Amino acid sequence: MTLIAPTAFFGKTFDEAMALLVEARDYIAAGAGEKPGDRPVGDHLRMARETMRITARLTQIMAWLLAQKAVHAGELTPHQAASEAHRLAGQAICFDDDEAHYAGLPEGLQALLKRSYALYVRVARLDELVRRAAE
C-alpha cells in the first residue's frame, strides 16, 4: 500500500507547521504585545482561550505529521497511521473558527488564528485521504 503524498510534501507541511509553532510560541511568550492593564479582564480571558485554540491546533497537526513521518521511516504501517490513535484529533475545538471570536483581538493573534486554522483544515483533508488510502 502506498501513501498518497510523497515525503517531500509532508516535509514541507511539517516545516510550515514547525515555523508556525515557533512563531506562536514567540508571540505568546512576548505577552501578545499587551500590558496587563491594557484590556478588560474579559478580553484577556478571550485572548487566553484563543491562544489555547492555536496551541491545540498546532499540537494536533504536529502529532499527525510525526505519525506520517514514522510511516515514511518504516516505523509505522500506513494502516497503523490511519488508525483512530493516530487520526487528527480535537476537531470540535480546532474547527471552531467563528469570526466573532476575533473581534477586538490583537492583529498578531488574529493572524495566528487564521493561519493555524487554514493549516488544520489542510491537514484534516490529508488525514481523510490517508485514512481512505489505508482502507
DSSP 48-66: HHHHHHHHHHHHHHHHHHH
**What does pTM read for this prediction?**
0.87
Q: What rounded mean pLDDT belongs to the chain? A: 87
Please name the fold of domain 7-134. Answer: Helicase, Ruva Protein; domain 3 (1.10.8)
Residues 6+ away with beta carbon under 8 Å from 49: none
Task: Tell me the pLDDT tens digit for each residue of 40-71.
Answer: 777 888 888 999 999 999 999 999 999 999 99
- For the chain, the domains span 7-134
DSSP 113-129: HHHHHHHHHHHHHHHHH
Scan for cell 486554522, then name that residue.
Answer: 117
Going by the DSSP 8-state scheme, the letter that residue 101 receives in this structure is G
Residues 6+ away with beta carbon under 8 Å from 80: 71, 86
Per-residue model confidence (pLDDT) at position 11? 82
Task: Tell me the pLDDT tens digit for each residue of 8-44.
Answer: 667 889 999 999 999 999 998 887 656 666 777 778 8
Alpha helix positions (H), the chain: 7-29, 41-72, 78-81, 91-94, 107-134
